[in-house]
Structure 1
Amino acid sequence: MYCNGLYISCGCSRPQIRRLVLSLSRPMQSLLPFLLVALSLTAGTQSRTHGRRLHNAGHSRSLEELELELPTRTTKLSANWNLDRSFAIDNETALAKRDNTKYVFMHHIVGNTQANWTADIQAIGAQGVDAIALNIGGDTWQRTQIGYAYAAAQAISSPVKLFISFDFTTNLGCDLNDIVQRTLQFSSHPSQFKVNGRAMISSYEGACLGDAGWRSLKDQTNGYIMPFISGLEGNFGAWSSFDSWYCWGCAWSQNNQDKNTADDYYYISQVGSKYATTVSGWFYTHLSDKNRILRSDDWLLNNRWNQIFQMRDQLTFVEMVTWNDFGESDYFGPVTANQPTGTTWADNFPHTAWMDMSAYYIQAFKTGVYPTVTKDVIYFWARPHPHDATATADPLPQPANYAWTSDYLWAAAFCSSTCTVTLKSGTSSSQTWTNLGAGVNLLQLPLAPGRVSVAMSKGSTTVLSASPTDFTYVSVPSLYNLNVYVGAASATSTATTSTATATTSTSTSTTTTSTTSTATTTTATTTSTTTTTTTTTSTSTDTAATSAATVTWSYQGCYTDNGGSRTLRGIEIDSSTGNSISSCQSQCQVAGYLYAGVEYGSQCFCAAAIASGVSTWDESHCSYPCPGGAGKCGGFNAINIYKASSASTATTTTTTTSAAAATVTAGGQSWSSLGCYADSTNQRVLPAQVYEGPSNGVTSCLTSCANAGYSFGGVEFGSQCFCGNAAPASSLIATSDSCNYACSAGSASGICGGANRINIYSISGGAAPITTPPAGADTGSWTYLGCYPDSPSSRIVSALEVDSASSNSIASCETTCSQAGFSYAAVEFGQQCFCGPSLLSGVSAVADSHCSYACPAGSGNCGGFNYASVYYKPASSSTSSVTTVGSTAWTHLGCYNDATNARVLSYGAYDGPANSVSSCLTGCGGKGYVYGGLEFGQQCFCGSTFTSKTATASSNCQYHCSGDSAGLCGGFNYVDVYYAASGLH
């Protein structure tokens, strides 16, 4: 039998088919997972392929013929295709229909945003999300933030629940007892998300616990286990502790093809009804060690939701990725100043409209029926420059995979009835679509230099139009940015009416909800729906003229705002539980400001004037309830602003401003202000955090730093105090108005930094770092250099990492580094060993009291939490392999396990028939990378950093190079890693 490239022949013998041969042309190869599932069900048992999973589509071989033997109870597959792995289909559970209850989660990176938990929880829940996955690492301040989150959810009786997602790629460590205790702290909390009475426990990675560890965690906490752990393909049966497993990387395509469901169905064939998946709108990052885009074109978010809808019978849980991971451009929440160091692509690139759009699809997934479109909206998104443009001032190279994205304005037009839509880009690109049907219409337009605009009309009436003034498409950028600006234009006249007077503002909204029996399409065409509609009306009233003490405040309106350029640029005071209109006005009055503004529910801003050029917005955008009182406290990037009578402010005696005091006397020392600096949770300007809480002030913080022997002190985020012994880099200097948070002890205590902004002070004669070895250190011929601050994102010694929770010692680490040919060895966190040819520049040693963790083996101390004990020995002859390419000596570090969704080296430089060790390392060195890696024979990867695991046996890296049969280029999911030890310029 033959059909469109599929040829099936059967060799039959009674009582069952014994042999089945399939010949597939290339266009039909995408059907392989579906054919295997169908064949397994026909056979009534298991089907196995010894093959590489389709998730790695970029490495699949030409499939000419598959031959299946079908005995009574088994189905076997053999073929002349390069298949290396196995999977099993559980016929009873793989495609079994799930319970009709569906849940949608939102992944929240704890610490990347301010402590605005009330507003975050309300905003996420407003679109139908059931629970928030709280991504947490090992920092103590994250534990505090988790507590704030649970308290906020309980305080507002939110239907949105919470659960912890342990991120094992951070400094979390792998201490089972610690994970158990963190879980038990909140497992009985009223806001804990539970499955059949069991607290949900999730993770990003976590193979270090092993199945036995996860089983113990489950038993000790009565938990419901749903981790993401990579590299388990073909071996899920060995992880019986899992109640569910979710696929993080399945939100995006891993190659230059539109996202499909092949990887979803592959994993369904592996784990059956335990499978959960993810959805996202974009992926782009532009850091030195992670510089790439994943294919996100062709309405990825819309089509991914449609795919999930079509798979809903096989799904119970779907996780949205993410609320606030600005560093990878996959955020649904509002952009804040708290971003990973070096992030230049998120400010002024909002994505919140995607959150609003997702509400439609969330309802469809949870109910099984697409809702009727009752409000006319155009959602649109675009990148700011051509994908292949050359940036004029970017220190980093062009992002990897830049050719995977196309230069289009993408749009999703939600039409309540037949409509006409016009898209424009610049002056040379425009198109109008007439008679689009009711429902969702997916449209695209080639981008051209200039502003973009969208419009919808019905008959002769224009019902909506928009042309953002804060987004322009340019031909030549100064910096690379493949992120997208996401906007929305709504026909407010059909959905919301508002009136405003000098004293009150009343907003009345009519919301229509409906159901439909027809599904939306996934192409750029009209989706028609037939509906029945139920209408509900709600009314809320805000007080626009209020009094704080004897001051009269008049309401000025709802204004646009964003974290990159504030509408009120004085000070910011946040409270996720107590913020209200009156409390904000009172604090601004005490501080001597004329204007007060409330935003995002929990934020209060004060300023002497409203920033020029900022416009008012429809009142419907300022709809968030105040957690501490009546009325509305702004919204997403929307602020309610009030003005005090000028006579009253003239009598104010307190005149705190956003400028930090020039000199402060504290702890018996005179401190000088160095100014406001950019800071990051990934790489602290001052490494030692000594306090976080409600009593923080400039004087109290600097006193603590002086008493601890530090010569630098800094205050941040209102409530945080940091100390250190090294001056901050001048490149991190920020504008003084970005340090505008009042200290948590009160505005009289001074200005305490801002969001990822720190006010730094210095004294002379600070405590000198101790450079004598700790007692009992076994240094041999190595010289102890001292205790140094360290962080996972910027290692003090960075070439090689070898960890051991049971056998790490100073001597074993020195031996490892010596054998690898490195001059520097560092031990940290008890169990970590790092090697390298040099120390990170600009970092100074601190007191040895920070390096107090006992080594699990041997004598002495092995660093501390984010502190490394560093040793030095001049380089000697090495037993490691060194390859010289040109003038560069590359040291072979070993063979390491790799995964497509968590690469050891992040930059994919080459994949083809001419790969060799020398060509790969030449290419990596030419691009300025100090690490090169070879895998699967034909692949070359590069990187500026190397996040390693323990090296595996060299027998795993035995694939001959595709361009040099005498050389070895890694293996299947194993990469040979090299380090440029010298000669690279």
Structure 2
Amino acid sequence: MTLYSAVRDTSCYCGPSLTTGPGFYVPGDMCTRKCGGNSTEICGDYYMLSVGNLANYQGQIVNNSPANLGYRGCYQEGNGKLALQGYSTSSNSMTVPMCKSYCNQLGYSMAGLRNGNQCYCDSVFNGGQLLPDSQCNTPCSGNSTQFCGQTYTLSLYNSNATTYGAAEAAAAHQSGWEGCYASSLVSGKQAYVDYQYIATNDLTPDFCKTTCAYFGYSYAALGAGYACNCGNTLIQTNRMPDVNCNSACRGNSSMLCGGPNSIDVYQIAKSYTPDTSALAAKGWLGCYGNPTTGTPLSSYSYSDNKMTPQLCQTACKQVANYQFSAVSGNTCTCGNTNAGVLVSPLVCKNACAGDNAQNCGGSYAASVFNTTVGIDHADNNKPAGWYGCYKEGSGYRALSSYTFVSGSMTSALCRKACAIRGYAIAGTQYANQ
């Protein structure tokens, strides 16, 4: 136990016993140098010490405020190296609780503050000697009533003395949250780059997790409020405090989806496999986003306010036996080449015009089907020689050589009338023409 203190000029000395050795006491008036911190006090003189007995010292050594829980002391950093080297950050809003929270979230046992705005974390202390608390007297930039070290001097704390640490951060996020990480894991191609979808206005944690589950991935990473990435390997380097994942989700502004330079990473439960029953009509191949130009299928298209996947499949098969059909809203497109980009089935969420129990594409995306296994109504109740159903162009008559109107119109009557006059093609319209 230190029982004595001595000051000389700008230096302070401590010890458990007072040993004069070859020295000797001199008259008190020979100690004349004023203390640098208080000119009304005397701090020894050249080669002379002002000695004090600490047995009855009543001064407050440790600040016992709630923010100061876990305080270990004021420490000088080691010669030429940081005392805590695991993680560091700086902020103009720095406080003692903030630094302890950061370090605890990142799994470090110690938190140290320096220069008023700097926070350092580690579980190994590489610092120097213990100093008086008065040497850590720089007010914290985020709360001037707290102290955050000094130059090359740390206010040192146990990080578990915090009200918001690793457990609280996990509880503030959806289940499966693995933490907030630097987005360099994605940009550097280290993790979560097996599949990427820029979800624009759709992104939420559930959207990204369900998307990644649909494509068979184990982890989902959300960044900048709009980006969803998937992968199968959890990389636990470059962990950051959850405050860095502060971007509102485009799909729900009350939720957070990573940050400008960070990603929220989730492990995906099997329960997140999406329900595609509203999409998966017979022959469904998936939800495809539009390519750079055009639509996934582009050989033929038409619109109908009663559009369904089955109607579109039938139309594409009837028109030219196309291999693929695609529906988006009330529009059907056909083709033999699918130029679309496979995206989350959650994107194809628009109800079909002809059946609101089914989904028909979405924003800049279409539900694509294989017509070879579709439902073909081409020959139901159609007479021999039937070519198909044709939509006339605006202001244009497909068959204009002869026409007549009858309240008793049938396909047989129309064909007979046209054949008598030597025409090869007949067509009926509006039930009576």
Provide TM-score, normalisation by structure 1: 0.18
Per chain length, whose mean CA-contact separation is higher, i.e. which structure has more relative contact order (CA < 8 Å, sep 6+)?
2
Report the structure, 1 or 2, having the larger strand content. Answer: 1
Provide TM-score, normalisation by structure 2: 0.35
